C-alpha cells in the first residue's frame, strides 16, 4: 500500500509504542497502540488514481457539501483519503497561509478556519483551491510551491484528520456533481467545459 509523503513519523510512533508496551508485558495497552497504528496506516494511505473522463477533477475525497456555479466544497471525514490533487493543469501563482478558527470542517463557518489558499493559473483562467483544517490536529501539508507547474490529478498536498477543500470553477465550466455526491480526488470529474 502506498503511503502519503511525510507520513513516516505519524505511523512509526504508534508502531514503536506497540512494540515497547508488548515488550513490557502491557498487552491491553499494546493492543490499543496497535489499533492506533492501524488507523494511522489507514488514514495516510495514498492510492494511485486515474481520471474518469475529461474535465475538472475533484481535489479531495469525500462528500460534496456545496456545489454552485462558481465553487465546489468537499468535506473529508477521517475515513477518507486525505491527499489532495490538482483539479486541472496549471501554474502555481502563489500560496497564501491564513490563520483562523478551528470549527468542525462540515460547518459553513469553517470557511474562517486555518487554511492554505492556492492560486492556479490554467488555460481556462485562474482558479483558487483552499485546503481548510477541521478541529483535530489541524495540519496542512503542501507538496508544491509558487512557480511550480502541476498536472491534472497530481498530488499537491494533504490535510490531517478531518477537513475540507474548496475549489473555484473557471468560467465556461458546468457542474457535474451535486450536494450529497461522493467524490474521489484525481478521479471524479466535478465540472466540464461547456460543449
**149-150 and 56-57 beta bridge pairing:** unpaired
Task: Catalogue the active-site residues.
Answer: 163
At CB < 8 A and 24+ separation, what contacts does 172-179 make? 172/124, 172/125, 173/55, 173/56, 173/124, 175/67, 175/68, 175/69, 175/72, 176/55, 177/58, 177/64, 177/67, 177/72, 178/64, 178/67, 179/64, 179/65, 179/66, 179/67
CA distance 178 to 182: 9
Torsion angle of the four alpha carbons 40, 46, 97, 180, in this order, in degrees rounded to the nearest 10: -90
Residue with cell 494511505: 45
DSSP string, 47-89: -----SSSSEEPSSSEEEEEE-SSEEEEEE-TTS--EEE-SSS
Amino acid at each position: 500500500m502506498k503511503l502519503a509523503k511525510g507520513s513516516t513519523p505519524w505511523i512509526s510512533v504508534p508502531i514503536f509504542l506497540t512494540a515497547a508496551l508488548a515488550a513490557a508485558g502491557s498487552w491491553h495497552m499494546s493492543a490499543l497502540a496497535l489499533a492506533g497504528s492501524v488507523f494511522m496506516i489507514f488514514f495516510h494511505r495514498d492510492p494511485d488514481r486515474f481520471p474518469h473522463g475529461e474535465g475538472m477533477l475533484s481535489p479531495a475525497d469525500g462528500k460534496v457539501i456545496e456545489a454552485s456555479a462558481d465553487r465546489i466544497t468537499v468535506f473529508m471525514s477521517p475515513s477518507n483519503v486525505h491527499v489532495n490533487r490538482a483539479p486541472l493543469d496549471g501554474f502555481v501563482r502563489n500560496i497564501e497561509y491564513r490563520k483562523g478558527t478551528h470549527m468542525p470542517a462540515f460547518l459553513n463557518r469553517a470557511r474562517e478556519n486555518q487554511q492554505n489558499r492556492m492560486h492556479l493559473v490554467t488555460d481556462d483562467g485562474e482558479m483558487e483551491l483552499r485546503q481548510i483544517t477541521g478541529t483535530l490536529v489541524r495540519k496542512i501539508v503542501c507538496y508544491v510551491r509558487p512557480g511550480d507547474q502541476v498536472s491534472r490529478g497530481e498530488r499537491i498536498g494533504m490535510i490531517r484528520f478531518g477537513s475540507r477543500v474548496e475549489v473555484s470553477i473557471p468560467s465556461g465550466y458546468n457542474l457535474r456533481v451535486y450536494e450529497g455526491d461522493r467524490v474521489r480526488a484525481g478521479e471524479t470529474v466535478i465540472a466540464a467545459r461547456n460543449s
